Structure 1
Amino acid sequence: MMKVSFMVTTCVLLFYTCRAQNPKSQFVWGINGHPLTQKDYSNNLDDQIAALKDLNVSSYRFDVILTKDGYAKNQPAFIKLLQALRQNNILPFAAVMQTGIGGMPPDSVYQIAFSQGKNFGVAYGDYFTVLEVNNEVDNKIRVRNVPAGVRPDAEYDIEKSKRFMAQISGFIDGVKTVKPSIMISLSVSFTHFYYLELLKENKVNYDIIGCHWYSNMGDMLAQKLPIANVLSYIQGHFNKPIWITEFNRFKGTGAVSFALQSQYITDNIPKLISQKNIGAFFVYELFDEQSLSAKFPLEANYGIMYKDASGNYVKKDSFYGYKRLIYK
């Protein structure tokens, strides 16, 4: 931390840095990207940083694949990203993807995951105030084609869930032995709330519920009973801070015009924030991923920016719409 030598300068600097470094104290605005894992985010870190600064977001959420020992697979690129974000006062929010645990019983999974978390905390913990462990595990343990995700019977693979509980819990416990101040977010999509019940039953030591919501899921504030208002339901049943860590029009501009994507974002974010029980908001995502168009066309056009035929990054209507909300 800074020394108190020049009081005015110190106060100004603290005011400037607390926006990114203390997500507990004030609202966190963010965006998702894939700077370490996807082709459309390769060799353009400067463009990403410039866009993040232009948006005025305080955090960047991204996925990082780990080795079986808990270190980043592409460590030089990971460190470069973390340093660039720190230099630009942007909070890194990594969703860590574990490897090397498949096919083992839960007790063994926990021990390996604990070592992974501890190694990660030692190697990179100083960069983070918040982390996510895995991503949308609710979708990984649900039975296919059963969308609601509220009831345990016939909706979840309980045996598979035991391994995931051990995997997540082990990593969290390992990280927190090294960096107990790091907050852990776990994501849940749609109304898959039995997953949150499983976390509670297994005493998983996490801090934030990260909700993922897209337009095809309906109105977040007007679902079927008994859930109705999703935010109020989560708050009342699970008593943890709520962040919205993915949000957009379904299929992005692959399904609708630039204007309609922007309208969905700008109409709904104020309504959700007005509920006064959200601590952060992250739109998905920064850049279109045209390299996915052939294999995964639904994933290709979620960006609020795209690259034109000349290779220049162009802002969609949603970039400007989201930016206006952030500046309020």
Structure 2
Amino acid sequence: MKNTMLKAWLIVPCVLLCCNLQAQDTGAPFVWGINGHPLTQAAYANNWDDQFNRLKDLQLNSYRFDVLLNADGIAKKDALFNKLLNRLKTSGIKPLPVISLSGLKGLDSTAIYQTSYRQGINFGQRYGSYLSVMEVNNEVDNKIMYKGDRPGTRASDYDPEKTTRILTGMRGFIDGVKYAVSSVKFTLSVSYTHFYYLELLQRYQVNYDIIGCHWYSSMGDITNFRPPFGNILTMLTQKFKKPIWITEFNYSKGTTYATFAKQNDYITTAIPKILAQKIIGGIFIYELYDQPLIRKQYPFEACYGLLQKDYNGNTIEKGAYQGYKQVVQKYR
């Protein structure tokens, strides 16, 4: 496996627990955020006014959402994406778009890099003036791992062919965006203990800036994980020397089975404990609204929201909505 990974590598083209938290080592304001799907999911399609009212009410300064691109590196819903970016700018909220690449199937590694690099330039030139931080390809660690219950801590957990294809595309896109807009930073997500993925990013020279941890209650305590890991945040900081954000966080499966009170208790007790480590530079709850229409296809992902609809179509606040709001107010 290691020899195979080495061959794959050779063909890659080489080209504070207090108010007023600050992002670690940068002096930048702490990033308080939430996830949503204003361009891609029905639960977010016709309620933009409410979304922006909620972002303001929660006193958040960043909105993380998915964006699908065409083969030229332009948003498939270009007009709507531009409208969203303009509205976020007017509202003083930073966008954190999570880009899904396309148009790379059937290409060899050289062509993947060249195509994604061109896409990155196009994307950066078109939208870069709105962006300070962005992401490409959500949870790639899960996509390139072999199926089964794997820890993600060793080379044998990862498919070398998928790794080469996907990471080469990410590398090209990031390089292209940064060529067009040098100030833009990239965060890439990693879930649970899939830390060998971060080593693969180093090996493939993917030029990202921020580690975006995805952590849910079923994974355990991120500040005091089982041996040999201990404090995951400290371990990642020492090993990879990059700022860390938590870009997805919530009680596992939301309120699919748990009560509103249980979800709220987890969010309001775990976040202060994490902040006390004085390591992370931002945190994003997943997510703003429940998505009842995806329940059939993704039964455990439909109820993560801080808000839900009742049988009359009225928006109801779960306990975690006010809980997160109070945490933000206390520590912002």
* TM-score, normalisation: structure 2: 0.90
Q: Which residue of 1 aligns with 2:14?
A: none
Give the aligned residue type for 1:58.
N
AA of the residue aligned to 1:312: N
Q: Which residue of structure 2 aligns with residue 111 of structure 1?
A: 114
CA shift, 1:226, in A, is 2.4
> What residue is the counterpart of 1:257 in the other structure?
259
CA offset digits 1:248-269 (Å, max 9, x no partner): 0011011200000000001100
Identify the residue that residue 245 of structure 1 maps to in structure 2: 247
Matched, 1:86 2:89: yes
Structure 2 equivalent of residue 76 of structure 1: 79
Alpha-carbon offset, residue 318 of structure 1: 0.2
CA distance in 2, matches of 1:52, 1:267: 22
Once the two structures are superposed, residues 260-309 of structure 1 have per-residue CA deviations (whole angstroms, 9 ceiling, x without a partner) of 00000011001111111100000000000011122211011000001122
Task: State the alpha-carbon separation in 2 of the partners of residues 326 and 137 from structure 1.
Answer: 29
Counterpart selection for 1:268 from 264, 267, 270: 270
* Map 1:224-235 → 2, pairs under 5 A: 224-235=226-237
Separation in 1, partners of 2:257, 2:232: 25
Q: Secondary structure at the match of 1:297?
A: coil
CA–CA distance in structure 2, aligned partners of residues 193 and 105 of structure 1: 27
Q: Which amino acid letter does the alignment assign opposite residue 191 of structure 1?
A: T
- SS at the partner of 2:245? strand
Matches within 5 A, 1:114-133: 114-133=117-136
Tell me, in whole angstroms, the C-alpha distance in 2 between the residues paired with 1:162 and 1:294: 33
Kindly indicate whether residue 297 of structure 2 is the aligned counterpart of residue 295 of structure 1: yes
Kindly state the Cα deviation for residue 239 of structure 1 after the two structures are TM-superposed.
Answer: 0.4
Q: Which has the higher contact order (CA 8 A, sep 6+)?
A: 2
Matched position secondary structure for 2:228: coil
How far is the alpha carbon of 1:145 from its aligned partner?
Answer: 1.1
Q: Name the SS of the counterpart of 2:300 in structure 1.
A: helix
Amino acid at match of 1:62: F
Residues in 2 aligned to 1:311 and 1:36: alpha-carbon distance in whole angstroms = 21
Is 2:147 aligned against 1:144? yes
Structure 1 outlier segments of 4+, above 6 Å = none
CA RMSD in angstroms comes to 1.2
Q: Hey, what does 2:202 align to over in structure 1?
A: 200
| Matching of residues 299-318 of structure 1 within 5 Å | 299-318=301-320
Cα distance per residue 1:215-269 (max 9 Å; x no partner): 1111112223222211011001100000000000011011200000000001100
Instruction: Spell out, residue by residue over 1:54-90, the C-alpha distance to the aligned partner (whole angstroms, 9 max, x if none).
Output: 1010000000000011000011111111111111101
Contact 1:45 1:81 in 2 (8 A): no
CA–CA distance in structure 1, aligned partners of residues 182 and 136 of structure 2: 15
- Cα distance between partner residues in 2 of 1:281 and 1:215: 15
Q: Percent identity?
A: 50
Unaligned runs of 5+ in 2: 1-21
The C-alpha deviation readout for 1:119-162, integer Å capped at 9, x for no partner, is: 00000000100000110000000011133100112x11012101
Structure 2: distance between partners of 1:59 and 1:253: 24
In 1, Cα distance between the equivalents of 2:321 and 2:41? 21
Alignment of 1:53-64 (within 5 A): 53-64=56-67
**How do 1:23-102 residues align onto structure 2 when only pairs under 5 Å count?**
25-102=28-105
AA of the residue aligned to 1:327: Q
Query: What is the CA-CA distance between 1:203 and the residue it aligns to?
Result: 1.6
Return 5+ residue gaps in structure 1 as ranges: 1-18
Aligned match of 2:224? 222
Q: For residue 5 of structure 1, what is the aligned residue in structure 2?
A: none
Q: Report the TM-score when normalising by structure 1.
A: 0.91
Number of equivalent positions: 306
The whole-number CA distance in structure 1 between the counterparts of 2:138 and 2:124 is 19
Separation in structure 2 between the aligned mates of residue 259 and residue 270 of structure 1, nearest angstrom = 17
